[in-house]
Amino acid sequence: MFDLILHAVPVFVIALVLEALSFRFLPDDDEVGYEFRDSRTSLTMGIGNVIINVGWKLVVLAAYSAAYLVAPVHLPADNPLTWIALFVADDFLYYWYHRTHHTIRVFWASHVVHHSSEHYNLSTALRQTWTPFTALPFWLPLAFLGFSPWMILLQQSVSLLYQFFIHTERVGKLWRPIEFAMNTPSHHRVHHGSNDQYLDTNYGGILIIWDRLFGSFEPEGERVVYGLTKNIKTFNPVRVATHEYTAIWQDLRAAKTWKHRFGHTFRGPGWSPDSA
């Protein structure tokens, strides 16, 4: 099967190098830029994600195929309306996948990897989870609706490709109609912010309209402070990949009741019995 992301790797590398050179020769004191150890960690996380997905995507493909086989209809791939419907449906599901991965701690443990950098550049886009397994249920309905598995995987790749390029400080706010409808570098900078007003906002993938519809939109205002509310202060890829799972396990061991264990696992990051 054609893998768009693997074929886009040379484009990622060229874009990353060009952005890094732009900071070298056109520095901006208001922008964070690159830090070698941070970017090395992000690249390592990205490579690890690709390796893990070599096997995991076989499981995903099998699940999509099984659902597609029992779907009451099979939508034609040669109809442009099918692709438009897939684009909208995929982006809608991505919004809810992304939102739940910020608001349910066991999901956050996977996604927090992507937010663990205190820098914001194209290498940050490659800082991906080594535990991608929680994504499967969110896209499985598309196969039941009659979208072919290869179409679903391709559209997911298109979304990831688009999102790579919005991880940059080098692009300011764009033309107002674009900012209104599309996820842009400005909107996604906000999403990566640890400022109080920026937390849990701008979950969109390609479109930002879902955030506007569901009340999670926040425009870029004050300077974004990137990273977590409690940064992990490590460049060790294994710790980056597992630190929140370790924290969950420690909280579960210390929990006194099943209610508390449930809270530590399925409530939001930062939940504690005292805040219940």
DSSP state letter for 208: S
For residue 270, the model assigns a pLDDT of 86
Closest by CA position to 2, among listed 157, 182, 111, 173: 157
**Residue 2 in this model has a pLDDT that exceeds 70:** no
* Token pair 């900071």: residue: 23
pLDDT above 90 covers what percent of the chain? 93
Neighbours of 173 (CB within 10 A): 13
Q: Give the chain's end-to-end CA distance (angstroms, integer).
A: 48
The tokens describing 169, both together, are 């400080």
Instruction: Give residue-wise pLDDT tens across range 222-276.
Output: 999 999 999 999 999 999 999 999 999 999 999 999 999 999 999 999 888 876 5
| 47-62 pLDDT tens trace | 999 999 999 999 999 9
Phi-psi domain of 215 (left: phi exceeds 0; alpha: psi -120 through 50; beta: other): left
Contact 237, 39 (CB under 8 A): no
- Are the C-beta atoms of 50 and 157 separated by less than 8 Å? no
For residue 179, give the amino acid letter: E
Q: State residue 5's pLDDT score.
A: 84
pLDDT tens digits, residue range 94-146?
Answer: 999 999 999 999 999 999 999 999 999 999 999 999 999 999 999 999 999 99
30-47 pLDDT, tens per residue? 899 999 999 999 999 999
